[in-house]
Amino acid sequence: MKLGICFSIACLGLPLLAQTPNSSLGISLAPSKGPAALSLPVEIILLLTLLALLPALIMSLTPFLRISVVLHFLRQALSTQGTPSNQVLIGLALFLTVVIMQPVAADMYHKGWEPLESGQVSWQQAWNDGSQPLKTFLLRYVREKDVRLFLEISHTPWPRDRSELGLGVLMPAYVLSELKTGFQIGAVLFLPFLVIDLVVASVTLSIGMVQLPPIMLSAPFKILLFVLVDGWNLVVGSLVRSFY
């Protein structure tokens, strides 16, 4: 029933959109102005496909991966259980990702989508031009070891220049590189809090407090130390500056 109503609305609405090329939504079914311009159904299919792939792309091919890994390591090091919650950490990582990736996304839009939408370039040229800013960003942080691994897996010969690497190799190599970097930063964050845990555990054992978990005593000291050094400012600032 609901599917039939939606289909009827779509059938009634499409002729109206075709008659109003200058509608407030900016959508029209009027004939294309250029040989490479896209019709409305094709644009809708492309947009829906991109929206379906967008979460995976944001989590894997942006600073979101490194930031989220480091923030979760930090929460475990502080021994605060579920505080901050996963929603807060993911939201913070997402906002920081938007700040860092805004220039790259703007370059991709101006170099790829705008010429394609106006019918100035073909699909292949728009893809090559639009993906170039993303390739430049990935090349900046990818490790040569990870690139070599996926070149061997895909049986692709080593290119003469790093700029000739394709996204099929760069994307998984970037994920591995960011995972290693995130774990390295997380291990460094763990060290000062681990020292506090060891000191508190040795003190409690020396005075015979065996039944009291040391983590219950060390957690307030770790939180106090983190607040005194303005830890959130230091961690977030260091993460953002690592991408510039």
Q: pLDDT tens per residue, the chain (244 residues)? A: 433 434 343 343 433 333 334 433 343 434 444 444 557 787 788 788 878 888 888 888 899 999 999 999 999 988 887 888 899 999 999 999 999 999 998 998 888 888 877 778 777 788 888 888 889 899 999 998 999 999 989 888 888 888 788 888 899 999 999 999 999 999 999 898 988 888 888 888 787 776 777 777 888 889 998 999 998 999 999 999 988 8
From the list 99, 36, 77, the residue with the least C-alpha distance to 195 is: 77
Helix (H) or strand (E) holding 110: none
Is residue 93 within 8 A of residue 71, CB to CB? The reply is: yes
Prediction pTM value: 0.74
CA separation (Å) from 144 to 75, 96, 161?
Answer: 31, 26, 12
Separation of alpha carbons 28 and 43, rounded Å:
11
Per the CB < 8 A criterion, the answer to whether 173 and 140 are in contact is: no
Alpha carbon 114 to chain centroid distance?
23
